Amino acid sequence: MTMTRPVTVSAACVVSGGQVLRPGWFTIVDGHIGDVGAGSPPTPADHDYPRHTVVPGFVDMHVHGGGGASFTDGPHQVVDFHRARGTTTLVASLVSAPIPTLLDQIRELRTHVVDGTVAGIHLEGPWLAAERCGAHDPDVLVAPSANAVDDLLAAGGGAIRMVTLAPELDGALAAIARLVAAGVVVGVGRTDATYEQTAAAIEAGATVATHLFNAMPSLHHREPGPVLALLDDARVTVELIADGVHVRPEMVAHVVRVVGAERVALVTDAMSAAGMADGDYRLGPVDVEVSGGVARVQGSDVIAGSTATPAGVFRRAAGGFGCGGGATDTSLVAAVEMCARTPARALGINGVGDLLPGYRADCVVLDEDLMVRRVVRGGV
C-alpha cells in the first residue's frame, strides 16, 4: 500500500509524551503521528502555528450530551458539538432506565461504536443507590442480576466500555467480576457504600471512581466511606468534574496533589444543555432547568450533569484551577494528562490521548489564551 506524503505541523509549543517542546513539530502520515521533535522541523512545515500550543485531542470518559441533544436522540449532534471543542474521543453515557429501554438504546448506539463515532457506551445505572440517584429516576433503580448483566453485554456486543454501579447493592460484587471478565471498565459511583464495601469492589475489579465526591458520602473521620477507599488505592482512576460547580477548585487541586495527575481523569458529565442558553431541558426522563449555566433537577437544588466542555475544563486545569500560579509548563503537562492521557488509559483505549509516533493523529490547536482554534481527528 502506498503511503501518502507526510504532513508536517510546527508550533510554538507541542505537548508530547509528558514533555513540552518549545518550539515543537510532528508529522502526520495516513492519519497517524509519524515523527515528533523539538526545535525546527527537518522540512518546511505544511502548517505552522508560531504563537500557538498543540496538545493531544481531549478524551471525555463521562458525557451524556451537548449542543442541545443527548446520545439517545441525536448522537451525531452531540459528537459534532464536542469534537468542535477539542474532544476527539468520547464515550456515550446513558442514564438509568428500565432494562428493556437500555437494551434498545445500546443496540442503537452500538452502530456508532462500530463505525468509530464514539469509543464505547457508558452505563451510569440502573444499578445505583436510590439515596444518591440525583437526576436519575429512582423508580428504575435495581440491584444487578446475572441475567440483566448478560443481557446488556449481549446487546452491546463488545460496545459497552464502562459501567458505573453502587457496590453495596445485592449482587454487585458478582456483577463487577462478570463485567470485568467481559472487558468492561467498572466505576464505583452514586453509592452509599462504606469504606469496606468500596474496598471489596476494588478487589473485585472496579478501577474508576465515577465523579469522585459527587453522589457519595463525604469523608468522615470515623467513617471515611468510599472517597478514602478510592483515593487510597493506586489501581483506581478518579473522575473529577472540574467545572467550578460540582467540586470546589481548591479540592480538585488538592486531589491532584495527593494522587497525581496520572490518576485523575477530568470529565464533563455534560448533558444536552452544554453550549446552549439557559432554559428547560431533559436528562433521560428527568426535567432539568439550567440557570446561570448550572443544570439542576427542575424544582430542586440537585445538580443534573453539567454544561461544561473539556476545552473549558482543560483551561481551568492548565491555569491551576484558579488556585494561583497560572499556566506553566508543569500545569500544561498535567492538564494534558488529566484531559487526554489518563482517561484513555483508564478506558483501555490504545493509540489516543497523546502525540506519539503511531498514535492516531488527534490534536487541538490552542491560541495564547488556550482557546480552541483548530481540531484534527485522524489527520482530518
Annotated binding site for Zn(2+): 124, 211
Q: Tell me the backbone φ, ψ of residue 337, rounded to 5 degrees.
A: -60, -50
User: Would you state the cell numbers that stand for residue 280, as one nine-digit string?
Assistant: 428547560
Please state, in angstroms and rounded to a whole number, the distance separating the CA atoms of residues 285 and 311: 28
Please state, in angstroms and rounded to a whole number, the distance separating the CA atoms of residues 253 and 99: 38
Contact 132, 138 (CB under 8 A): no
If we measure between CA atoms, which residue out of 114, 117, 116, 142 comes closest to residue 128? 142
| Residues of the binding site | 124, 135, 211, 214-215, 222, 246, 303-305
| Residues of the binding site for substrate | 135, 214-215, 222, 246, 303-305
DSSP code at position 338: I
Residues 6+ apart with CB under 8 A from 119: 59, 89, 90, 91, 113, 161, 347, 349, 352
If we measure between CA atoms, which residue out of 305, 299, 280 comes closest to residue 136? 305
H or E stretch covering 228: helix 225-232
DSSP code at position 270: B
Q: How far apart are the first and last CA of the chain?
A: 20
Please state, in angstroms and rounded to a whole number, the distance separating the CA atoms of residues 103 and 113: 15
**Which spans in 168-244 are helix H?**
172-181, 195-204, 225-232
Query: Is residue 269 among the annotated active site residues?
Result: yes
Active-site residue (options: 192, 233, 269, 362):
269
Contact 276, 290 (CB under 8 A): yes
DSSP code at position 33: E
Q: Which residues are annotated as catalytic?
A: 269
